[in-house]
């Protein structure tokens, strides 16, 4: 019986160490359906998202969802530490509880106490080993606890550094595509003279951002649960908006930036598909159509009014639908699983944001400069900047 318990303790210990190694140190996608980390997130995220989604207040709901990522990281570390304590305790018990305990008869309770005080390097000395094997195992456990602490201390800066790099571009996209970001707004704000070069540079930046997202979130899937600081922003909505824009440029817009759009689309789709596979998600086929033909006509009209050179053949809608089929199912699956809604193609209720306010003030200045002989009066569009620069973000 004790030999069997000894084997269980060894298996438990190695399972924790291998899982922690794959999660923290291994710079590639971890494999295995029965990994401790995977089971932990399956067991915690499903009930967490189920109950938070039933909150009526959207701000409180988003706030509760944002707690899960950091909190789950702390709980996961506690689970690892507890499993290691329990594993070493079973090993001690399998060896016959080889300790001198002045307070009680040596047994599993004493083994758990020794294991806990050893792995956290307390070294109280009130329970002492009485065999050579026990002394060596105590030293091994103390070294394991010290090494685990060192790895965890190095894990947090790497994790939050990757999160910070991800969020910088998402924040920058706010002034370029609105909040939440939409393909229509991104194209509209890049319809000025010489904007094709600016749009190409933007797509190059997001090609690199998609590659960094894939690399960091494959290595650290926990980052997928970390949410942006604003309720109407998320990494899924940003990635989807870039895919929408790239698909639109490839399928229905004239211009040299379509070449870069192909590269950005390929990298962004790669990231979307691989991240969906991390959670074993299959693409959703029966989701509501994000761009019906009527909405496409509205998008087409908006782009024409903004001065975008769109393709006028009758197959542009079919080409765009074919492009959308390559990624929208995976985006819907990820958005549904992580409770991050996808952005629309055209904002139904555009938010007043900083870009619109500044653009309005600049338009008034240009109008004043174009008529120097006329005495211009302040208009309602040039009210105080404090009023114009409305913070549209919901925290």
**DSSP readout, 311-370?**
--STTHHHHHHHHHTTTHHHHHHHHHHHT-PPPPSS-SSPPP-HHHHHHHHHHHHHHHHH
Report how far residue 208's alpha carbon sits from residue 210's, in angstroms, rounded to the nearest whole number: 5
Residue 377 to residue 368: CA distance in whole angstroms: 9
> DSSP class of residue 223?
G
Which pLDDT tens digit goes with each residue over 146-188? 888 888 888 888 899 999 999 999 999 988 888 889 999 998 8
Sequence-ordered list of residues with C-beta below 8 angstroms from that of 334, at least 6 positions apart, any chain: 236, 272, 275, 276, 279, 281, 340
Confidence category of residue 121, pLDDT binned at 50, 70, 90: confident
pLDDT tens track for 267-282: 999 999 999 999 989 9
Helices (H), the chain: 2-20, 36-52, 58-94, 108-119, 132-177, 183-188, 195-219, 235-252, 257-278, 293-306, 316-324, 328-338, 354-370, 385-388
The ranges assigned to domains in the chain are 2-130, 160-338
Contact status, residue 331 vs residue 243, Cβ threshold 8 Å:
yes
- pLDDT at residue 162, rounded to an integer: 92
* Torsion sign (Cα): 148, 279, 235, 59: negative
Predicted pLDDT at 383: 38
Q: Determine the Cα–Cα distance for residues 347 and 250; give it in Å rounded to an integer.
A: 21
Which residues are CB-neighbours of 52 under 8 A, at least 6 positions away? 61, 64, 65, 339
Strand-pair partners of 253: 310
Question: Distance between CA atoms of 307 and 194, rounded to whole angstroms?
Answer: 12
Higher pLDDT, 197 or 254: 197
Tell if the pTM clears 0.95, that is, is over it.
no
Please state, in angstroms and rounded to a whole number, the distance separating the CA atoms of residues 184 and 177: 8
- Decide: 42 and 279 in contact? Cβ < 8 Å: no
CA distance 280 to 95: 41
Asked if 210 and 239 count as a contact pair (C-beta separation under 8 A), the reply is: yes
What confidence tens digit (pLDDT) does each residue in 348-384 have?
765 555 556 666 666 666 677 665 554 444 444 333 3
- Residue 129's DSSP bridge partners are 99
Strand pairing partners for 101? Answer: 127
Predicted pLDDT at 348: 76
Radius of gyration of the chain from its Cα atoms, rounded to whole angstroms: 28
Burial (CB < 10 A; 0-12, 13-18, 19+), residue 306, is middle
Phi–psi pair at 370, nearest 5 degrees:
-75, -15
pLDDT value, residue 43: 92
pLDDT, tens digit (0-9, with 9 covering 90-100), for 216-248: 999 899 999 999 988 888 999 999 999 999 999
Q: Report CA-CA distances (Å) from 121 to 111, 117, 145, 147, 251.
A: 15, 6, 7, 11, 62
């Amino acid at each position: 019986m004790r030999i069997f318990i000894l084997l269980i303790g060894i298996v438990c210990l190695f399972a924790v160490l291998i899982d922690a190694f794959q999660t923290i140190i291994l710079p590639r996608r971890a494999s295995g359906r029965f990994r401790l980390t995977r089971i932990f997130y399956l067991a915690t995220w499903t009930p967490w998202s189920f109950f938070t989604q039933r909150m009526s207040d959207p701000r409180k709901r988003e706030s509760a969802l944002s707690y899960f990522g950091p909190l789950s990281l702390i709980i996961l570390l506690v689970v690892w530490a507890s499993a290691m304590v329990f594993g070493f305790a079973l090993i001690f018990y399998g060896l016959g509880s080889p300790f001198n305990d002045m307070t009680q008869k040596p047994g599993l309770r004493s083994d758990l106490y020794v294991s806990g005080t050893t792995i956290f390097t307390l070294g109280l000395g009130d329970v002492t080993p009485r065999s050579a094997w026990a002394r060596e195992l105590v030293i091994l456990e103390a070294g394991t606890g010290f090494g685990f602490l060192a790895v965890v201390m190095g894990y947090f800066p790497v994790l939050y550094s990757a999160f910070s790099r991800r969020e910088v571009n998402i924040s920058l996209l706010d002034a370029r595509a609105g909040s939440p970001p939409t393909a229509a707004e991104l194209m509209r704000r890049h319809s000025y003279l010489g904007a094709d070069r600016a749009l190409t540079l933007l797509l190059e930046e997001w090609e690199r951002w998609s590659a960094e997202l894939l690399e960091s979130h494959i290595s650290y899937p926990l980052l997928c649960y970390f949410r942006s600081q604003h309720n109407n922003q998320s990494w899924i909505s940003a990635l989807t908006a870039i895919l929408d824009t790239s698909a639109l440029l490839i399928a229905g817009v004239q211009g040299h930036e379509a070449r870069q759009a192909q590269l950005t689309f390929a990298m962004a789709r790669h990231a979307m598909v691989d991240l969906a596979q991390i959670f074993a998600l299959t693409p959703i086929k029966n989701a509501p159509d994000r761009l019906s033909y009527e909405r496409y006509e509205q998008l087409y009209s908006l782009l024409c009014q903004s001065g975008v050179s769109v393709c006028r053949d009758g197959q542009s809608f079919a080409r765009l639908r074919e492009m959308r089929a390559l990624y929208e199912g995976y985006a819907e699956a990820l958005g549904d699983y992580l409770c991050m809604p996808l952005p629309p193609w055209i904002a139904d209720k555009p938010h007043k944001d900083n870009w619109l306010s500044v653009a309005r003030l600049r338009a008034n200045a240009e109008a004043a400069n174009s008529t120097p002989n006329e005495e211009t009066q302040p208009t309602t569009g040039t009210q105080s900047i404090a009023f114009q620069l409305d913070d549209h973000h919901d925290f």
